[in-house]
Structure 1
Amino acid sequence: MNKLMKVVLLILSYLGIRPGVFFQNLRYAPAYVGDFFKFSKKRGEWKIKLYPILTDKTDQSGKARGVYFFQDLFVAHEVFRANPRRHVDIGSRIDGFVAHVASFREIEILDIRPLENSIFNVQFVQADLMKPQPQLKASTDSLSCLHTIEHFGLGRYGDPIDPDGHIKGLDSMYELLEPGGTFYFSTQIGPSCVHFNAHRVFSIQYLLDLLLSRYQYELQSFSYIDDRDQLYKNVELTEELIQSNAGCKLGCGIFILKKRL
């Protein structure tokens, strides 16, 4: 597919027009009609209302794929193993990582967006982490921020426009964590750029310079999910892997870090 076609499809999708979905549904429509008539002949007293779901015939039993699926499950398991005194999360997925952790322990969330629902084992505080949070300084021994920092300062979620938003956010998170505490951090990896206003992409070298020099974390482990959604756990950070960004253009790096005493 050439670049022009990708641009056209992207524009159509923003207008609510999805040609791929249309043609896929068209392909499976005859099977739906056939099944409908077969069922109608045997329906007995059942009243029928049409509600076509056309493509599930060829789907798998579940969607065990995608960056968020692997990332959220992996990091939630790490939190379970560590069993910290307190765990605070910054902006990770409620219906993924947060839900996983809340199934076995309490978790506190800070997010610039509101959360209207009350959720078992979840305590929520609305806060802008691009601003200092002195009342929370050194308040937790365990902190997570998964696939979130790349959005800070781009305005996508109603946050103030700030090219240094990710730096200010990481500054606040560093202050939240106690000395000796663990930081579970993930973000998009690849050649550094900003896809405005969706997200940033960071090179591995940039992230290492930031996390190990500016903030003085100790790296406990590095894992990543590549562009094909394959998870690689506890990988050695060789110079080749760093310079190639693990072969990713839009992958996900998962850093487990400890704040120096």
Structure 2
Amino acid sequence: MLKRFKALIQFLGFYPNMLLENVKGLVWYFEDLKSLKKQIESKNKNEFPFGKKYPVLNEKFSTSGIASGHYFHQDLLIAQRIFQNQPVNHVDIASRVDGFVAHVASFRKIEVFDIRSLPDYIYNVKFIQADLMHLDQNLIHYTDSISCLHVIEHFGLGRYNDPIDIDGHLKGLENIYQILKPGGRFYFSTPIGHQRIEFNAHRVFSIKYLLELFNTKYDIIHFSYVDDKGDLFRNVAFTDSEIEQNFGCVFGCGIFEMIKK
């Protein structure tokens, strides 16, 4: 009940934790401001006159960054794998532009297909707006390397103005298979846990279901996962118990590197 109430008030734009942090932050904000003004007066330092007030109240005791979670680990891991494997061409299906795509574009060219638009020009990124639930026949056997990170779970749920389609994920995966050349590599990630739809955010896939989809079409050469705490476990083996338990995840992230048979 408490979680539902918290979700409701956040939906209405009210974030109690942020409010409390900001109220506490005001105390040291004014203390620091007073201290700075005293230094200016005592040292007659006038090079930087005060402009508008711009209080940042929740970062005084924060860490230097967040090196955990689905996107951080998958984006870095798969970019590293692509760098090591050096494909002739690499195509990405709708992964995060300000994460994975930017990582790859820092060292090579990358083509991005997405149902959403991308109005900005990015060096080393060729963008094509397309609905990957429908395949352009010119794309069959188009590339030797393809990625789709934390994306397929959305296909057919309407979140990104895509058409509602209960089989959207299946159509997307089949079209990716068609785009990839035999012997090419497919880098894939998606939420893992007990299988369900959390409408309209995403699907969550069981490991068993994913293996049934992939085993006849691909050789899985690496599997890693991010657990519910946001920690990465690299290149782990499939066992019957881990498959059955989805590696202990309720909402984890499975990360596959596969070669098309």
Question: Normalising to structure 1: TM-score of the pair?
Answer: 0.96
State yes or no: 1:97 paired with 2:94: no
Alignment of 1:31-180 (within 5 A): 31-43=28-40, 44-45=45-46, 46-180=49-183
Give distance in 1, aligned partners of 2:115 and 2:72: 23
Tell me which amino acid in the other structure corresponds to 1:34.
Answer: E
Tell me which amino acid in the other structure corresponds to 1:157.
Answer: Y
Q: Which runs of 5+ in 1 are unaligned?
A: none
State yes or no: 1:233 paired with 2:230: no
Deviation at 1:256, TM superposition (A): 0.6
Tell me which amino acid in the other structure corresponds to 1:39.
Answer: L
Give distance in 2, aligned partners of 1:235 and 1:250: 18
Give distance in 2, aligned partners of 1:47 and 1:247: 53
Tell me which amino acid in the other structure corresponds to 2:227.
Answer: D
Kept after mapping to 2: 8 A contact 1:133/1:172: no
Deviation at 1:26, TM superposition (A): 1.1
1:221 is aligned to 222
Cα-to-partner distance string for 1:74-124 (whole Å, 9 max, x where unaligned): 000000000000000001000111000000000000000000000010000
Deviation at 1:47, TM superposition (A): 2.1
Q: Secondary structure at the match of 1:84?
A: coil
Q: Which runs of 5+ in 2 are unaligned?
A: none
Give distance in 2, aligned partners of 1:164 and 1:36: 58
Kept after mapping to 2: 8 A contact 1:218/1:257: yes
Give distance in 2, aligned partners of 1:64 and 1:223: 16
Question: Normalising to structure 2: TM-score of the pair?
Answer: 0.96
Q: Secondary structure at the match of 1:252?
A: strand
State yes or no: 1:247 paired with 2:248: yes
Give distance in 2, aligned partners of 1:120 and 1:12: 41
Cα-to-partner distance string for 1:148-187 (whole Å, 9 max, x where unaligned): 0000000000100111100010011000000000000000
Give distance in 2, aligned partners of 1:82 and 1:40: 56
Aligned-residue identity in percent = 51
